[in-house]
Amino acid sequence: MSKTAFFHDELCFWHTTGEHALVMPVGGWVQPPTGAGHAESPESKRRLKALMDVAGLTARLDHRSAPRATEEDLLRVHDPAYIKKFKEVSDAGGGDLGLFAPFGRGSYEIACLSAGLAKQAMADVLSGHNKNAYALSRPPGHHCLRDQSMGFCLLANIPIGIEAAKANHGIEKVAVVDWDVHHGNGTQAIFYSRADVLTISLHQESCFPPGSGLVSERGEGQGEGYNLNIPLLPGSGHEAYLYAMQRLVVPALRNYKPDLIVIASGLDASGVGPLARMLLHSDSYREMTQLMLEVAADVCGGRLVVIHEGGYAEACVPFCGLALIETLSGERTEVEDPFLGLIKAQQPNERFDAFHKQLLDEMAQSYGL
């Protein structure tokens, strides 16, 4: 049996987002930080990799880096003028091309590497080299549009990987399940008028981008019906997420029967995440991953690829990520998540969950599920 692939490259951690307090540029009334500063710092990702190392998990995986995505790969998805501008500003020392996506010198090449890890993860699962794969991509990708950076995302890692997979591996249908706590608006926009990529996003309602990710956004033209948004109420915990997965995501995937399932895996819906108000814990990511493994086994020969997106709680993200990768690989370590009891004790009450399940039932009916 082939192993789970784990794609990681230290250079991805060298992408800099400059001097910020959480997401606000320093200056005026915003005091320069003494610590990591910007929310999208390498720390949560580096600590995930470190925990995997000390727990002995990395050694049990097929752990590799990958080549950068090429210009040809990028241009299957992005507007040439955007790519040219991004490279110019990166070469000149960095900047921000808009909508909360600052970067430094050399971030262009690092973003190409981040997309390259996603591309290789998909390629190696499709070729049968690995049973499934995880790419610790940074910078993330799911907010990035064809011609516009957004929300810490500089290149659309998952669409770049999917288009390369379609060009090189002859697959027809791909499903993307985005459980980052923010709306996967970039992936949605890129595939909005296409039926060959089903895009599903679970997210905190109207969190980021504000007003984005409504139930009414169903796709257009040939893509109508192939985009599914599942906005969840702030304060959603384990029950609401698992119910949404079972009631909406799993049936949608079984109906669609993709050749490959890709998860846009933000770990920022945790109970201590600073950029949203949700209450997931490591067992939530463990169980959601298990569900996706079961669906993938049934519909696409187990071909499941997980691409890292957000996740900003430096202390907690490593335990959520470890639980996910343990499940993906079937390799349980001795690590026990010290946050688990704390976040489990803060779950919403039964009345909230019952009300929320009713909303999700209505949503499922509106989607014909």
**Run of H or E residues at 232:** strand 227-232
Q: Does 119 bind Zn ion (CB under 5 A)?
A: no
Question: Which one of 102, 184, 223, 266 is in contact with Zn ion (CB under 5 A)?
Answer: 266
Sign of CA dihedral 53, 326, 125, 202: negative
Q: CA geometry: angle at 286 spanning 281 and 292, to 5°?
A: 130
**Closest CB 266 distance from Zn ion, rounded Å:** 4
Distances 276 to 182, 187, 188 between C-alpha atoms, Å: 8, 20, 20
Q: Does 139 bind Zn ion (CB under 5 A)?
A: no
Only segment of 21-29, 247-255, 266-274, 292-300 that touches Zn ion (CB under 5 A): 266-274
143 labelled catalytic:
yes
Residue located via tokens 């050749």: 259
Q: Does 40 bind Zn ion (CB under 5 A)?
A: no
Q: Does 268 bind Zn ion (CB under 5 A)?
A: yes
**Closest CB 193 distance from Zn ion, rounded Å:** 25
Number of chain positions touching Zn ion (CB under 5 A):
5
Only segment of 89-97, 111-119, 123-131, 176-184 that touches Zn ion (CB under 5 A): 176-184
Only segment of 222-230, 236-244, 258-266, 286-294 that touches Zn ion (CB under 5 A): 258-266
Which residue in 15, 142, 143, 183 is the catalytic one?
Answer: 143
Q: Which two tokens stand for residue 53?
A: 């190392």
Q: Does 141 bind Zn ion (CB under 5 A)?
A: no
**Closest CB 45 distance from Zn ion, rounded Å:** 13
Q: What whole-number distance in Å separates Cα of residue 110 and Cα of residue 10?
A: 10
Q: Which two tokens stand for residue 238?
A: 């384990």
Q: What whole-number distance in Å separates Cα of residue 24 and Cα of residue 113?
A: 26
Q: How many CB atoms lie within 10 A of CB 72?
A: 10
Question: Which one of 49, 182, 281, 356 is in contact with Zn ion (CB under 5 A)?
Answer: 182
**Closest CB 310 distance from Zn ion, rounded Å:** 3
Only segment of 24-32, 41-49, 277-285, 303-311 that touches Zn ion (CB under 5 A): 303-311
List the end-to-end C-alpha distance of the chain, in Å, as a whole number: 35
Residue located via tokens 């990511």: 285
Question: Which one of 180, 217, 287, 337 is in contact with Zn ion (CB under 5 A)?
Answer: 180
